[in-house]
Chain A
Amino acid sequence: MIRSMEVTQTVNDQRKKIHPHKFTLWVAIGSIIMMFAGLTSAVVVKKEQPGWTTASIPRVFWYSTAVILVSSLTIQMAVKAFRDREMLKYRSLLTTTTVLGLLFVLLQWIGFRQIWESGITLHGSGGGQFFYVIVGLHALHVLGGIAALLIMFVRMLATNLRNYNSIPIELMSSYWHFVDLLWLYLFIFFMIIH
C-alpha cells in the first residue's frame, strides 16, 4: 500500500521535473555544440588570413540533407507510434531511421569522394580541409547515433517483456534531431563560407 502510494507520488514528481537522463543528454549536446563552435570559429578566423582556399560543395550534399531531414521525421513518428503502443509500426519506423542514417553517412562519403576527385586533398589549410574534418566529425556523431539505435534494437529483440518505458526512445529522438540540426547548421555555414 505504502509502496504503491510512493510510486504514484513518484510519477507525479516526475511529471514536474525533466528526467535526469534527458537533462544529461541536453548538457552533453551543449558540450558537442561547443566542440563544433570551436571548429567553425576556427574557420571564421582562418578565412580572413592569406592563402585561404575554398571548395565547391557537390550537389550530393543536398540529397544527404534531404535524407537526414526525412530521418528526423521518421524517428519522430516512431516516438508517436511507441506512445500509441503500435509496436510493429514503431519497429519499422526505427528500422527506416537506421537505414536513412546509414544512407546519410554513405552520401556524405560520396560527397567527400567527389570533392577529393576535384583535386582537393588533405594538403593545405583551406575550406576543403576544414570541411573534411568538421563534416567527418559530424558523420562520426551520426554513426554514434546509429550505434545507439542498433543497441536499442538488440535490447528490444532480446527480451520478451513488454517495456513501455518511453525514455530511451525519447532520448534517442532528441539526439537524432540534434545531429540533424547540427548538420543543417554546418551545411549553411559552409555554403556561406564558400
Chain B
Amino acid sequence: MSNEATLHGHPEVVTTHDAHHDEHGVHHHKETFITKYVFSQDHKMISKQFLITGMIWAIIGGLMSVLFRLQLGYPDAHFQFLEDLLGSKWAKGGQIQPEFYYALVTMHGTILVFFVLTGGLSGTFANFLIPLQIGARDMASPLMNMLSYWFFLLSSVIMFCSLFVETGPASGGWTTYPPLSALGDASDGSKTGMDLWIVAMAMFVVSSLLGNLNYISTILNLRTKGMSMTRLPLTVWALFFTAILGVLSFPVLLSGLILLLFDRHAGTSFYLSDIFIASTQKALPNEGGSAILYQHLFWFLGHPEVYIIILPAMGLVSEVMSINARKPIFGYMAMVGSMFAIAILAFLVWAHHMFVTGLNPFLGSVFVLLTLLIAVPSAIKVFNWLTTLWRGNIRFTPAMLFAIGFVSTFISGGLTGIFLGNSTLDISLHDTYFVIAHFHIVMGVSGILGMFAGIYHWFPKMYGRYMNNTLAYIHFWVTLIGAYLIFWPMHYEGLAGMPRRYMDYSNWVQFNQFGGLNQFISTVAIITFAVQLLFVFNFFYSIFKGRRVMSRNPWNATTLEWTAPIRPGHGNWPGEIPEVHRWPYDYAKDGADFIPQTEPLGSHESAH
C-alpha cells in the first residue's frame, strides 16, 4: 500500500510495519519518557500537547478578560488584592492602570485568537483526527509535525515572557497597527514588549506553516485504500480548507511584520509619515510611509484567520451532530462546497475591516458585495445542520449540546455580520461594542463551543476514559447562557454608540445609563470564567480517574478512528490499516443504526 511506503525513512513508524508478524502490537520499538511524552513524533501525543498548551493559554487569556471586566464594571472600586498580586505599577491602589488595561485587552485578543483558537483548536484536532480518520499511520512528516509543536511552544514561551517585561507586553491592540506599534517612544507597550510580540508571532507563523503543510500533504497523499475525497468525514474537509487558508495567509502577515520590524529598528518608514510624538516633544524625520499599508497586509491574514478559527469548529460540529442525531449529515456535498466557497471568499473581503480608513467608496462597495456573499455558504451550512437535527433520534450528550450551542451562536453572531458588512452602517457601528459583540459571538464563542464539542466527543479516544457528564452539563448551560448574557447586551451599547478600547466611561454622561449593565456583564463574565475552571478540573481529573472506555466504538460512529484500539499505539492500527468501502454518514440506513466505513457494500447497495 502506498501508505506504508511513504512512511519509509521514519524508522519509528516503519517498525509498526512488522508489527503484524508478532503479537506485541505496535509498541515494538522502545519508548522512553522523553520520546513518548516530550519529543514525541506520534500525532496523537502532539495533539495532546497542543491541546494542553492551548488550555493553559485559554486560562491566562480568560483571566485577563476577568481583570479588565472588573475595571469596566467597577471603574471606581479599589480591589486591594489586585495591587497585592500585580504590584503598584499595574494596579496602583487596587485600580487597573491605563497601560495595564491596554496590555490586557491586547494580550487577551492575541492569546485567544492565535494561541487558543488557532494553535489550540486546529493544532489539536488536525493532529488527532487527520491520520486517524483518513486511515494513516501518522502524518506525512512526523518530524515536521513535532517541530510545529515546538515552534508553537517557543512562540508561547516568548509571548509569555513578554508579560513580565518591565515596560509591559504589547499594548496597541491585537492588530498592532502602526504608527503606535512602530514607535517605542509613543507608549510603554510599544517598547520591548512589542518586539517580543513580533518575534513570538514570527515563530507562530513558522509553527503554523510546518503544521499546515503536513496536514495538506497528509490528507491528499496518505488516505487509506477506498478513502476517496468524497468519503472523507467533514472534519477532515474542514481541517483541509483551514490548512490551505493558513498556508496562503500567514506568510502575508509575516511580510507585514518584517516591514514593521524594519520601521522599528532600521529607520525605514514604510508605515510612518509626518509624526510628532507628544511625550518626547519631537518631530520624527520619517516621510512618505503609509499606515494603511500595514492594515492591508494585516487584514489579508486577519480575515482568513477568522475562518481558520471557525472552519475546524464547523467540521467538528458537523461530525458530532450527525453521530448524535443518528442521521446522515444533510447535504454532504453542499457542506464541502460551502466550505470551499468560504475559503475562496476569505481572501476577497479583507478591506471590510477598513471601510472607515478613507477607502475609496467604490472599492468599499465591491467589498460589501463580496462580504455579504459569505452569508450564502454560511446559510447553507446552518440550513444543513438544522435539517440534520430535523426528526433525528437525538442523543443529548455534552458534545451534542455544545454542537447545537455552536449553531445557535453562529446564527446570532452571523446575523450581526450582515449589519457590519455594509459600509454605510459601518460608519456608525465600527469600533463600537457592536463589533465586540459580533465577533465574540460568531468567532470567539462559536469557536470555543465547537472546540468543547470536539473535546467532549473525542476525549474517550484521546485518553481511553470518559469525562464526567454532570460537570459537563453544568459547564455547557452556564457557558452558553453566560456567553449570551455577556455579549447580547453589548449590541445595545454598540448601537448607542459606545466605543470600544476605553477603560472608563464614567465621565461620558451619554453612556452612564450603561453603568449597571456593565456591572451585570462583568459579574456574568466572572461566573462564566469560573465554570471554565470546572471544565479544566473535569478534563484533568478524567484523564486519570474517569470512567474507563470499555468498547472500541462508544458513540456507535462510522468513522475509522473508532476501529482502532481503545488506546492506539504509535501507528494507530496493530495490523493492516482498515479499508474503506463507503462514506462516513451511513446512519439509520436499511434498518441498521449505523454502518461503519469499513463495512463492504451489500449486494443491494450502490457505491457512494
Residues of A within 8 A of B (CB): 6-7, 9-11, 13-14, 17-21, 23-24, 27-28, 30-32, 34-39, 42, 45-46, 49-53, 121-126, 129-130, 133, 137
A-B contact pairs, 28 of them (CB 8 A): A10-B2, A10-B4, A10-B5, A13-B1, A20-B217, A23-B221, A24-B140, A24-B141, A24-B214, A28-B209, A31-B213, A31-B247, A31-B251, A34-B247, A34-B251, A35-B252, A38-B251, A38-B255, A38-B297, A39-B259, A42-B296, A51-B288, A122-B268, A123-B269, A125-B268, A125-B286, A125-B290, A133-B258
Query: Is B380's beta carbon under 8 Å from chain A?
Result: no
CB <8 Å contact, B221 and A20: yes
Asked whether A42 and B293 contact (CB < 8 A) given A10-B2, A21-B140, A34-B248, the answer is yes
Query: Is B300's beta carbon under 8 Å from chain A?
Result: yes
Q: How many A-B residue pairs have CB under 8 A?
A: 129
In the assembled complex, how far is the CB of residue A132 from the closest CB belonging to chain B, in whole angstroms?
8
CB <8 Å contact, A42 and B259: yes
CB <8 Å contact, A51 and B287: yes
CB <8 Å contact, B252 and A49: no
CB <8 Å contact, A38 and B270: no
CB <8 Å contact, A124 and B252: no
Q: How far, in angstroms, from A7 to B17 measured CA to CA in the complex?
A: 12
The residues of A that contact B259 with a CB separation of less than 8 Å are 39, 42, 133
Query: Is B130's beta carbon under 8 Å from chain A?
Result: no
CB <8 Å contact, B268 and A19: no
Q: How far, in angstroms, from A53 to B268 measured CA to CA in the complex?
A: 13
Q: How far, in angstroms, from A23 to B219 measured CA to CA in the complex?
A: 11
Residues of B within 8 A of A (CB): 1-2, 4-6, 140-141, 144, 209, 213-214, 216-218, 220-222, 247-252, 254-256, 258-259, 262, 266-273, 285-290, 293, 296-297, 300
CB <8 Å contact, A28 and B213: yes
The residues of B that contact A121 with a CB separation of less than 8 Å are 267
The residues of B that contact A53 with a CB separation of less than 8 Å are 288
Asked whether A31 and B222 contact (CB < 8 A) given A10-B1, A51-B287, the answer is no
In the assembled complex, how far is the CB of residue B273 from the closest CB belonging to chain A, in whole angstroms?
7
Identify B267's interface contact among A10, A34, A123, CB under 8 A. Answer: A123
CB <8 Å contact, B221 and A125: no
Q: How far, in angstroms, from A51 to B293 measured CA to CA in the complex?
A: 15
In the assembled complex, how far is the CB of residue A39 from the closest CB belonging to chain B, in whole angstroms?
5
CB <8 Å contact, A45 and B296: yes
CB <8 Å contact, A46 and B293: yes
CB <8 Å contact, A20 and B213: no
CB <8 Å contact, B267 and A45: no
The residues of B that contact A21 with a CB separation of less than 8 Å are 140-141, 217
The residues of A that contact B268 with a CB separation of less than 8 Å are 122-125, 129, 133
Q: How far, in angstroms, from A51 to B273 measured CA to CA in the complex?
A: 10
In the assembled complex, how far is the CB of residue A174 from the closest CB belonging to chain B, in whole angstroms?
14
Q: How far, in angstroms, from A137 to B259 measured CA to CA in the complex?
A: 11
Identify B2's interface contact among A13, A30, A36, A124, CB under 8 A. Answer: A13
